[in-house]
Structure 1
């Protein structure tokens, strides 16, 4: 969770880096699951983490748009 807080306090470019890292992690997890390298339980846990991360990104993006007007 601290990583999320650190990302929040950084400029817009870092927010986009966070989004890209999140998407890359999602792709990696999906590939590993497709190749049976991770269990169904770990896949579910990782995808849940992805969902939380992408929701955080969206919330921060909305705040940025609202605050810059």
Structure 2
């Protein structure tokens, strides 16, 4: 997801992006943050609205087959 070069704004998927940050301590993953953004002016990002964020992350998690209830 996302567009590294920010020159492909002809559709919503090419304008969406997220940046993930990971916090490790003593070899353990403690936290993951996902910052979601939208390219609105060929390189100028803005933070997504809660609804936009929900739609993007839902599609990403569905495509990954990730489940909260996985054993």
TM class, shorter-length: 0.3 to 0.5
| Between structures 1 and 2, the one with greater strand share | 2
| Between structures 1 and 2, the one with greater helix share | 1
**TM-score (norm. length: structure 1):** 0.33
Between the two structures, name the one with larger relative contact order (CA 8 Å, sep ≥ 6): 1
**TM-score (norm. length: structure 2):** 0.32
